[in-house]
Chain A
Amino acid sequence: MLRTEEMLLNVGPQHPSTHGVFRLVIKIDGEIIKEATPVIGYLHRGTEKLAENLQYTQIIPYTDRLDYLAAMTNNYVLCHAVETMMEMEIPDRAEYLRVIAMELGRVASHLVWWGTYLLDIGATSPFLYAFREREMIVNLLTELSGARLTFNYMRVGGVKWDAPEDWIEKVAEFVPYMREQLAGYHELVTGNEIFVNRVKGVGTYTKEEALQYSLSGANLRCTGVNWDLRKNEPYSIYDRFNFDVPTRTEGDAFSRYHCRMEEIEESLKILEQAVEQFPEGPVLAKVPKIIKVPKGEAFVRIESPRGEIGCYIASEGKKEPYRLKFRRPSFYNLQILPKLLEGENMSNLITILGAIDIVLGEVDG
C-alpha cells in the first residue's frame, strides 16, 4: 500500500466561486471531501450594533447592504417591524409599490443566482443572458428609487417617492418579455444532459433535516414542505394575489433549481396582478417627523428570495432601538453545508454551495 495523506485545502476567501468572501477549509482524500469547515465573517460590518445608535429611518440604508441582491425585501422587513409596533395604517398605493418593487427584486435575485450558478458549473453564456434581463429590472428600480442596488426606497409608513410617469406600464411590458426569455433559459439549460448529470441527486437532504437545520425558502420547499410566508402568513397585501408556491420532493440541487425557476414565474404572476390593480392615492402615511417606537418588542418575518428574513426590535420608547436583530436566511441556510459536503467529490463542492444560494453580505451581517 502506498502511504497517502489527507490534504488541507483552503477554498477562498479569494476564490472565483465562493460568491464574495466566503472561506471553506476542506480536508480532501484524493478528490473526496472528508471534512468541511466554513469560515465566515470577512464581510461583517456589525449592522445590528450600528443600528442601536441610529434612528429608524437611518437604519434603512444599512439594510440595503445585507442581502444586496434583493435590497427591497430588507428595506421592507425593517419598515414592517416598525410599522407593526406602531400599529400604523399604510396607504394602498404604497403597499402596491412595495410589492412590485419586492417582486421585481425577487426576479432579479433569482436571475443572478441562475447566471452565477451556471457560471460555477462552467457555462459562461447563461450568466450574460441572465444579466441582460436583470439589467432591465435594475433600470426599472433605478427609475423608482434612484439607485441600482442600495435602493433606500422604503420608509416607515410607505415609500419615499411615488413611481415616475409610465413606470407601471414599463413593468407591465416587462412581464411578458421575461416570460419569453424564461422559456429560452429552459431550452438552453434545463434539459442539458451535462447540466442535469451535474445537479441531479447532488446535495440531497430530507424534509426532517431541512427542518432541523432551520432551512427556509427554496432550500426548504425543494424537500416538499409547502411553506411560503407570502401564502402562510400573508403580510402586506399578498393575500390579494393569486399565485402558487412551487415545491419539489427530491431535495437535491436540481429540485432547488426548479423551485427557483418556478418562483420567477410566480413572481411574474404577482407583478401582473399588482400592475392591474394598481390604485391611486398617497404613498406615505402620516408619520411623525421623528419616529419613536412605543416600549416593547416585536418580531416580524417575511419571505425574501433566499428564505425567511426576520426582524426583531426591542424598544425602550426612544428614537433608536434598544436592540435590533435580523434573522438572515443565508446565514441559517449555510449551516447545512458541512453536512452536505462530507464524502462528496471535490467537483460537487461548487455545485452544492451554489445551490444553497447564499449572499455573503447577509451571512456576515
Chain B
Amino acid sequence: MIKDLLHSTPSLLNFGIFFGLAVLLLFVVLGFVTYGILSERKIMGFMQLRVGPNQIGGKWGLLQTVADVLKLLIKEDTIPKKADKPLYILAPVIAFAPAFMVLAALPFTDAFQFADIGVGLLYYMAISGISTIGIVTAGWASNNKYSLIGGMRAAAQMISYEIPLVMSLVGIVLLTGSLNLNEIVAAQEKVWFIFLQPIAFIVFFIASVAELNRVPFDLPEAESELVAGYHVEYSGFRWAFFMLSEYVYMFAMATLTTVLFLGGWNSIPFLDFIPAAIWFGLKFSAVFYVLVWIRVTFPRIRADQLMEFGWKVLLPVALANIFLTALIKELINLF
C-alpha cells in the first residue's frame, strides 16, 4: 500500500494518509515508552527485592508513567540565566527528532513499515548519529560545568562506539549483499545471523548499549560523578524530551537487533502458524529484557577504560570479523 502511495502523484489526500500514519506510529512509540519504562521499573524491582510502581493505575502501576509525564508537563519551565538560550531550547529537539526519524526505516513486520529504503541500515546509522549533537549542545548550552563534562564525554563515547557498531554490521551486509533491512530479514529465513555472525553480534550488542548511554556505559549522565551529566540543568518537558529520545532509541535499537540478528519476524521452524507480529514482539521483548538485566547487574565502566575498550578491543574484533566473513564467503563460492 505504501509503495503505491509513494509512486502516486502528490495530493492533499496522500499527505493526509502519511500524516495519519505518522501520528499512528507516534502513538505506538509513546505507548511503548510508557509501558517500556513501566516494565523496566517492574523488572528492576523484581531483581532488586522491590515492588516497583504499584499505586497509580491499579496494583500494577499501569498509569504510573502517564502520571510522571503529566507531572513533567505541568512543571515550571526554567532556563538558567547564563545559559545560551536559543541553543538550550534547541538541544532537546535536536536530540529527539532523529530518534523519531530512524523509526521510519525500521520494518516491524513484512506489512508494517513506513519507508522501505534501499539503504535502510545506512540511513539508521547516519540519522542516529545526529542525536549526539543534541547532547553535546545541551551540555554546552546549559553553562554548567558538570553538564559540559557530560556533553564532552558523550561526544567522545559516541565516536568511539559508532565505528565498531557500523563495522560489526559490515559482516551482515557482506552475507546479504544489501543494506535494505527487508532483504536482511529475508536472508535470515533459514538461519538467523546471530548464529552466522556471533562475533558481530557480541560487538554490536556491546556497542549498542554504549550508543544507548545505558549502564555500564552511562558515562554522559553518570549520576554519582556528574550528578546528571548533560541534562543537569534541564527540567520539565525539556528534560522529558531527552528521556523520551533515550527510550525511543532503546525501542529502535531493540528493533534493529531483532531485525539484524534474530531474524526479524521470521518464525522458528514448525511454529510458523504464530503470526509474524507476535514473533517480532517476543524477540523484541527478549532483547529489551536483556538490556534491563544488564542495567541491574553491572557497575559503570570508567571513562578512559571505555575509550580503550572501544578502540583497542571492539574495533579490531569487528575488523577481524569482516575479514573472516569475507574470507569464508569467498571460500564457499570457490568450492
A residues apposed to B, CB below 8 Å: 7, 9, 15-17, 31, 118-125, 128-129, 132, 188-189, 192, 194-195, 197-198, 345-350
Contacts and interface: CB of A to CB of B under 8 A. Distances in A.
Given A192-B299, A350-B225, A122 B218 contact: yes
Interface in B31-54: 44, 47-50
Contact of A125 (B48, B216, B218, B222): B48
Given A125-B48, A345-B303, A194 B216 contact: yes
* Chain B contact residues, majority secondary structure: loop
A121 B224 contact: yes
Contact of A347 (B215, B295, B303): B303
Given A16-B223, A17-B224, A31-B303, A123 B145 contact: no
Contact of B300 (A121, A188, A346): A121
Nearest to A351: B302
- A interface, by DSSP: helix, strand, loop or mixed? helix
Given A16-B227, A31-B304, A119-B224, 9 more contacts: A9-B146, A31-B303, A122-B216, A122-B299, A122-B300, A124-B48, A128-B50, A345-B303, A346-B225
B186 interface: no
Contact of B49 (A120, A122, A132, A188): A132
B302 A123 contact: no
Interface in B281-306: 295-305
A194 B145 contact: no
Interface of B: 44, 47-50, 145-146, 149, 215-216, 218-219, 222-225, 227, 295-305
Nearest to B302: A347
B299 A347 contact: no
A345 B300 CA distance: 15
A345 B149 CA distance: 13
Nearest to B308: A197
Most chain A CB inside 10 Å of its own CB: which residue of B146, B149, B225: B225
Q: Identify the 4 closest CB pairs spanning chains A and B, nearest first.
A: A122-B300, A123-B299, A17-B224, A121-B299
A203 B190 CA distance: 53
A122 B215 contact: yes
B49 A129 contact: yes
A198 B216 CA distance: 12
Given A124-B48, A128-B49, A194 B222 contact: no
Contacts of A122: 215-216, 218, 222, 224, 298-300
B298 A194 contact: yes
Given A15-B227, A16-B224, A347-B222, A194 B299 contact: yes
A124 B215 CA distance: 10
A123 B224 contact: no
B204 to A, nearest CB: 19
A348 B225 CA distance: 9
Contacts of B149: 31, 346
A349 B298 contact: no
A347 B302 CA distance: 6
Nearest to B296: A125
B299 A118 contact: yes
A9 B299 contact: no
A189 B304 CA distance: 21
B299 to A, nearest CB: 4
A124 B300 contact: no
A9 B225 CA distance: 12
Contacts of A129: 48-49
B148 to A, nearest CB: 8
Nearest to B145: A9
A118 B216 CA distance: 12
A345 B307 CA distance: 14
A195 B218 CA distance: 15
B304 A123 contact: no
Contacts of A125: 47-48, 296-297
Contacts of B304: 31, 345, 347
